[in-house]
Structure 1
Amino acid sequence: MEIKAVALDLDGTLLDSNKKISQENRKILKLLESKGVKIIIVTGRTYISAKPYAEMLDMDSFVIAYNGAKVVNYRNDEVVLELPLEERYARRIIELAQDRDFHINLYQDNCWFVEELDRDETRHYSKMTGLTPVAKDFKSFEDYNMTKITIQDMANSQEFNEFCKHIENSFKGEVYTAKSQNFLFEVLNKNVNKGLILERVLKSYGISLDECVAFGDARNDLEMLKMVKYGVAMGNSDLGLKEQVNYVTDTNDNDGVAKFLKKYFLTQIVKYDKI
């Protein structure tokens, strides 16, 4: 078998628990790219948070960030595609989350906005992503078109999960929703998900979905994993995701990406004599 593209989620997939790309994963990806395979980051992270990993890999491709809401040429920071959540939905979702005192993250113009810097949720997300939050009164925006909104509850409480369901049901068909982590609920433009935007990027490169392998570990990866021919869940994924895809590999801490690529696409890596 041969492929022309590898699409990679970051957290829980390409990155290990220390948020690093292993030497083994990096070697295999660079070898594939040297043979003409496109290596594409597809993440729920902000573009600013994802860009350093693109630079580490020295990829010759776009970065798909915010679950697909923004596509960027990281070599010059040119925005290739952006599909924000419209104001009428953003305002209502902010109000609903505030009414229940859930922590809200707003993303606009490559900035991460919160109302309170001194909250556990803010500190945790900053540590996880390396981003610096900007404190802002959510009533003070001039423009409420948001790249993405996330609602955060570190306890993953029953109330939080009920709220997520309420948003899903209330805005069904009007917005896209998914959990990227158990504690993080994402709301985006209805035309955004990792699968839809990956398909558009692949098409721009003249690559079909049958020529792509994609890796992910969370619910927001599902559309991408089901859309391509080779959709791979990580070993650390929950059972619900694994049951819906055709392939499962080892965990993110055990070079699951590299192991799968070597097992199924060995002919494209034959010159790597240490396999």
Structure 2
Amino acid sequence: MSVKLIVFDLDGTLLDIEHQLHDKTIEAVKKVRKKGIRTIVATGRMYCSAKPHTSRLEMVDPIITYNGALVVNPINEEQLFHEPIPFETADKITKMVVQNDYHLQLYIDDKLYVAEENEFTDKYYKISGIEPNYVGRLDKFLDAEPTKMLIIEEDEDRQVEIKNFLEENFDSKIELSSSYPSFIEITKKDISKAVPLKELAAKYGIKREEIMAFGDGLNDLKMIEWVGKGVAMQNAHSELHEHSDDTAPNHNDFGIARYLKQYFDLDLEIPAQK
């Protein structure tokens, strides 16, 4: 396959277990780009949370964020694509969540809003590096269409209850995905990383067969299925492995760098595999 575009997820893919970007990974991505191959990041993160990593990677092509709901040009930070959740839908979901005392996070204008500080906000900060805005009751606060909503719930039985409720009441309005086992991520219906990717590929005149994509979570599934060569990280969700074309080594062992070195015959020194 002649690869003209490579798409990378961040957490669990480009980033290691500490959510850090290794110099070897940066070097590998830059060497691929020198071959004339476009490189794109597609993440569930906020743009402001992805930016420190995309800047180190010196990305120049659009950044797909919020699982596909927002695309930003990293050169001038212009919004190229934005599909937020309709206000009426977001308002109803927010009221349901508050009534049932679940932890909810709202993302509006690339800012994070939560009711109060707790174990979930602390955990999320360690992942994202973004300080939330504490605004009290979210059902009283919400007055705009959020780009994304996130419910964090670690109890599996309660997760099932929440997902079932959302699917039964809002199936025609929202898309559910997950980048972490405890995350229930909500975007507008029919939004995924694959949606803006298709638009960008058409704009660049690149066929799906000429696109390679790497991911690890269920929020990568539609992207992995659509591209010509979908690569699941060794640490990926089992369902992603079922729909991928190949496997890259673990994200915590220079997985992307190792795969790119072998596939594109890069001149790159990498520590011996663990």
Shorter-chain TM range is over 0.9
- Give the secondary-structure state (helix, strand or coil) at the position aligned to 1:180: coil
2:143 and 2:97 map into 1 onto residues whose CA distance is 19
Which runs of no fewer than 5 residues in structure 1 stay unpaired?
none
Other-structure match for 1:181: 180
> Given residue 255 of structure 2, which amino acid in structure 1 is its aligned partner?
G
Aligned to 1:165: 164
CA offsets per residue over residues 101-128 of structure 1, 9 Å max, x none?
A: 11000000111000112x1111111121
Q: How many residue pairs get matched?
A: 269
Q: Distance in 2 between matches of 1:133 and 1:192?
A: 24
Q: Which amino acid aligns with 1:173?
A: S
Q: What CA distance in whole angstroms lies between the structure 2 residues aligned with 1:50 and 1:246?
A: 26
Counterpart position of 2:56: 56
TM-score using structure 2 length: 0.93
Find the aligned partners of 2:124 and 2:152 in 1 and give their Cα distance.
Answer: 9
- Cα 1:200–1:156 change in 2 (3 A) is farther
**Preserved contact between residue 3 and residue 212 of structure 1 (Cα < 8 Å):** yes
Aligned counterparts of 1:274 and 1:87: Cα–Cα separation in 2:
50
Q: Residue 156 of structure 1 contacts residue 182 of structure 1 at CA under 8 Å; is this kept in 2?
A: no
Matched, 1:75 2:75: yes
Whole-Å separation in 2 of the counterparts to 1:106 and 1:60: 28
Q: TM-score, normalised by structure 1?
A: 0.93
Letter in 1 for 2:68: G
1:129-175 per-position Cα deviation (integer Å, ceiling 9, x unaligned):
0001001132344633110000011x233112221132123322321
1:151 aligned partner: 151
Is 1:120 the counterpart of 2:119? The answer is yes
Per the alignment, residue 89 of structure 1 pairs with 89
Letter in 2 for 1:70: L
Equivalent-residue separation in structure 2 for 1:95 and 1:142 (angstroms): 10
Cα contact 2:84–2:148 (8 A) shared by 1: yes
Q: Is the 8 A contact 2:69 2:83 kept in 1?
A: yes
Q: Compute the displacement of 1:274 (Å).
A: 4.6
Which residue number corresponds to residue 209 of structure 1? 208
SS in structure 2 of the partner of residue 225 of structure 1:
helix
RMSD after superposition = 1.6
